[in-house]
Amino acid sequence: MLEPSLQTSQPQSCQLNPLQVYEFIRSTAWRLQDSGFGVVLPPSLSQEQGWANRLGLSVRAEAPKGGASMGLKSLLNFKWELTIGGQRISKAEFDRLVALNTPLVEINGEWVELRPQDIRAAQDFFASRKDQMALSLEDALRISTGDTQTIEKLPVVSFEASGALQDLISTLATGNENLSLIPTPKGFQGELRPYQLRGASWLAFLEKWGLGACLADDMGLGKTIQLIALLLHLQETEQLEKPVLLVCPTSVLGNWEREVKRFGPSLRVWVQHGDKRPQGPEFARTAKRYHLVITSYALVYRDEKDLKRVSWQGVVLDEAQNIKNPEAKQSQAVRQLEAQFRIALTGTPVENRLSELWSILDFLNPGYLGPRNFFQRRFGVPIERYGDTDSLKILRSLVQPFILRRLKTDRDIIQDLPEKQEMTVFCGLTADQAAIYQRLVDQSLEQIESADGIQRHGMILSLLTRLKQVCNHPALLKAIGEDERNDAEPFEIDSPADFLAGSGKLQRLTEMLEELLAEGDRTLIFTQFAEWGKQLQAYLEQQFKREVIFLYGGSSKKQREEMVDRFQNDPQGPRIFILSLKAGGVGLNLTRANHVFHYDRWWNPAVENQATDRAFRIGQTRNVQVHKFVCTGTLEERIHDLIESKKALSEQVVGTGENWLTELDTDQLRQLLLLDRSAIIDE
């Protein structure tokens, strides 16, 4: 092509037709550049500008007027135009350009590429759509995140949102920096920390759009009260028109009921649980009278037909990692429930477990990440097997709008947290625990009534101890009754699953330990029963396949020092340290722990605080979370309430350990020990 120009004495240029220019750019320009020649092209034909100058769609979209409930599949009001080189073209102009039958066309003095595949896509588009095209909120979000770049195979070369839709996209894209905060609900009994109000506002924002939200804050940052604040906000703005269903592990049913009544007393709450729970049409009538209905994962599958009878405003999953296996019956059951909004609460990280991430996001926003096998091909294999950073970047941009995760290590959060956070964890009893508890109370009260003096005191203290042991685990009562048992003999667990099923407290502890171990945290677990420490050590080692250490009165000085040194100083050392309250409650420095569990309560706050201070002391660089376990419906709950109501006098009230309880008359004692049947967690 250059040869004719070389016939002149001073070659300066040569004329090329559009087809020759196209061939030059495709085949020759790079060879000249490799040989050291400069090649200057119009911006519209440079590789960097290629996508923006292609034939494609320019889309302007907005949310429909009228404030109707939205969702990912909701259709938007939008306008589209065919553009090329940044300029709008009509159908007639498009037909004229196609008729030129050339890969490069000139529009208003600017040359742009007209690709054959784009021409075919546009022709198909016109033939099939007849100017009628649907654009959903999901399409808009995908286009704005860069995941989707075509509609009907036509490139989207520009996308512009306006009004409320623009607010949504910009808020989601900027990590909620522009989020408008809701006012603190008037009915909220307590104080919402700034990050908690922001969390409740974020939930309210996504709820308004009908989008699913995953609140994935660290354990202890208050996911429960953020949800309660959201429900109060909906109630006070007259938006809570239908009941909300909360699904949680059986072990925390009582905890949720208590927290809702404590922080949001204006919310009517119903716990759907137990063999006398309403079913069929009666359940539907019951549910409509309440703002919040709480049930367990096990019952969701069993009561699926009943739950489908109710028109739910929202479905909330607590400990949402319970649906990480999408094939499980309970996972499939919760997906079948229709609701205007969906929320997942989980403290375990979801960013690094892609199959679990898909399962939770597919519950929240069905279909958003595609079918499971597609997700695995598109993201799972490239990211997990090959470390594909581009796929990871796109996945993050897709899920980031729907996941809010704050860590205790965040500077903004940690400044706002107390150095020591104390939380009471309310647990139910299994049916086996309840039967043994009731039998002990009935038998012992008869004997106590006919006794007096020192004998009566001794019988009461013995009963209290045995009831505490039942609340821990029935196996503890049995083990302590075996006189021939050698104190040094290690305890063996035949079946961790069966052992776990025996105690509501143990079920809750296991769930919480899973979460904090996933975070890399370390914990102390205090118990006043050395025998329970041995059983717990054996169970946890089998359950978590890791070393668990136990310090009690029988530990030698050398063993004691070695355990403390490994826990404190060995990065690969044990992360769970069980201590008997008497042996480990004083004289130790265990600042590597940032969680403290009081598995059974010593009814003297001074003794408990002394044990807690093994971790909460000089040298501790992190916030310490203290979890105090209490069995609902038992003497543990009533004594806890008694201590809480008299906190200022608690030293006088319980200053002598448990001896003050022996002064109660038989009727008072009966009231204290009475078992509340609603606290039983077996279904």
β-bridge mates for residue 640, sequence order: none
pLDDT of the residue at 311 = 92
Lowest mean pLDDT among 160-174, 235-249, 536-550: 160-174
- pLDDT at 485 exceeding the cut of 60: no
pLDDT bracket for residue 55 (50, 70, 90): confident
pLDDT bracket for residue 445 (50, 70, 90): confident
Q: Give percent above pLDDT 90 in the chain.
A: 29
Backbone angles phi, psi at 550, to 5 degrees: -140, 120
**Residue 31 buriedness (CB in 10 A; 0-12 / 13-18 / 19+):** exposed
Q: Which CATH number fits domain 422-679: 3.40.50.300, 3.40.190.10, 3.20.20.70, 3.20.20.410?
A: 3.40.50.300
- pLDDT at 202 exceeding the cut of 80: yes
The CA distance from 193 to 196, in Å, is 5
pLDDT bracket for residue 397 (50, 70, 90): confident
pLDDT of the residue at 373 = 86
pLDDT of the residue at 229 = 96
Q: Residue 576: which region, alpha, beta or left (left: phi > 0; alpha: psi -120 to 50)?
A: beta
DSSP 295-329: EEHHHHHHTHHHHHTS-EEEEEEESGGGG-STTSH
pLDDT of the residue at 655 = 42
Better-predicted residue by pLDDT, 645 or 303? 303
pLDDT of the residue at 157 = 67
Better-predicted residue by pLDDT, 589 or 436? 436
- pLDDT at 68 exceeding the cut of 60: no
pLDDT of the residue at 677 = 76
Q: Are 360 and 344 in contact (CB under 8 A)?
A: yes
pLDDT of the residue at 291 = 96
pLDDT of the residue at 486 = 45
Q: What is the DSSP letter of 680?
A: B
- pLDDT at 48 exceeding the cut of 60: no
pLDDT of the residue at 197 = 94
Better-predicted residue by pLDDT, 127 or 448? 448
In the chain, where the domains are located: 18-162, 174-413, 422-679
The CA distance from 307 to 364, in Å, is 18
Better-predicted residue by pLDDT, 356 or 167? 356
Task: Judge whether 174-413 and 422-679 match in fold.
Answer: yes
**Residue 681 buriedness (CB in 10 A; 0-12 / 13-18 / 19+):** buried
Q: Are 602 and 397 in contact (CB under 8 A)?
A: no
pLDDT of the residue at 536 = 95
Q: Which of 408, 273, 288, 378 is nearest to 679 (CA)?
A: 273
pLDDT bracket for residue 618 (50, 70, 90): low
pLDDT of the residue at 484 = 38
- pLDDT at 414 exceeding the cut of 70: no
Q: What is the pLDDT of residues 99-108, one digit of tens each?
A: 877 777 777 7
Better-predicted residue by pLDDT, 553 or 530? 530
Q: Strand 56-62 and strand 154-161: pairing?
A: parallel
Q: Which CATH number fits domain 174-413: 3.40.30.10, 3.40.50.2020, 3.40.50.10810, 3.90.45.10?
A: 3.40.50.10810
Q: What is the pLDDT of residues 624-683, one digit of tens each?
A: 899 999 999 898 998 888 777 655 443 443 344 566 667 677 787 888 888 887 778 765
pLDDT bracket for residue 581 (50, 70, 90): confident
- pLDDT at 46 exceeding the cut of 60: yes
